[in-house]
A = this chain, B = another copy of it.
């Protein structure tokens, strides 16, 4: 009913996934009613599905408050993801070196539709919580990493993206004007890197260099976030950018199982 009419589509499974998606940064612990409300499912369905997820170890349940919480299995999913993403294995050692050299937070971002997602993060300084954890998804147009990647796309795609991809205002400084974003992206086309200021949080500067892909299109970027209190654009370009670009360029565009560990559950 509420789901697609397709014999290759299992509605119950999809509904279960909706329950999982009900959890996010501001909904960390949900009662049965919360779950029902946020998923749009009726009480009974929610009860059955949540119970199933609990039995299967996907949701923890506080025995006294009866609230559901994501279980450790959610972390194991990230673990499995990491092994499956050929970029990560190749990149992590290099990012570690980089963060040690620079002493600032280094991120690996990938393009995920019209958003970017931070895949690896190596925090060096104390920052706000969300900047330290993986899996964060942000509108590509509002991030240095997103713009750096987009800059490697053909002109018509760039234009379409700048015109259509979503933008959300996070700070008073978040660029909402697509013209300005276009300028920023076109500058990145010329420069080969992108810098943005105060897009996600005030007084934060982001620099990003694209990681070359098969056909020139970058699907990932090395990114560095620093405080505007201690850094200027010029200083960043002089002291951080070269190393970020080196790292980004050192990552092979041929994504073939370069991980080298693929068969070592022990490790």
CA distance A126 to B122 in the complex (A): 13
On whether the beta carbons of B133 and A26 are closer than 8 Å, the reply is no
Q: State which of B29, B47, B110, B123 has its C-beta within 8 Å of the C-beta of A72.
A: B110
CA distance A265 to B131 in the complex (A): 12
Q: State which of B24, B97, B131, B135 has its C-beta within 8 Å of the C-beta of A78.
A: B135
User: Which residues from chain B contact A25 at a C-beta distance below 8 Å?
Assistant: 79-80, 83, 261-262, 264-265, 267
Distance in angstroms from A2 CB to nearest chain B CB is: 13
Distance in angstroms from A109 CB to nearest chain B CB is: 11
User: Which residues from chain B contact A75 at a C-beta distance below 8 Å?
Assistant: 78, 81, 117, 119, 134-135
1/0 per position for A27-70, CB-CB distance to B under 8 A? 01100000000000000000111011101101000000000011
- Residue A89, interface by CB 8 Å: yes
- Stoichiometry, as copies per complex, reads 2
- Give A116's nearest chain B residue, CB to CB: B72
- Among A11-19, A156-164, A182-190, A225-233, the stretch in contact with B: A11-19
**Are A77 and B74 CB-contacts (below 8 A) given A16-B13, A55-B4, A126-B96?**
yes
- Residue A1, interface by CB 8 Å: no
A-side interface residues toward B, CB under 8 Å? 4, 7-10, 12-17, 20, 23-26, 28-29, 47-49, 51-53, 55-56, 58, 69-70, 72, 74-85, 88-89, 92-93, 96-97, 100, 110, 112, 117, 119, 122-126, 128-137, 170-171, 200-201, 259-267
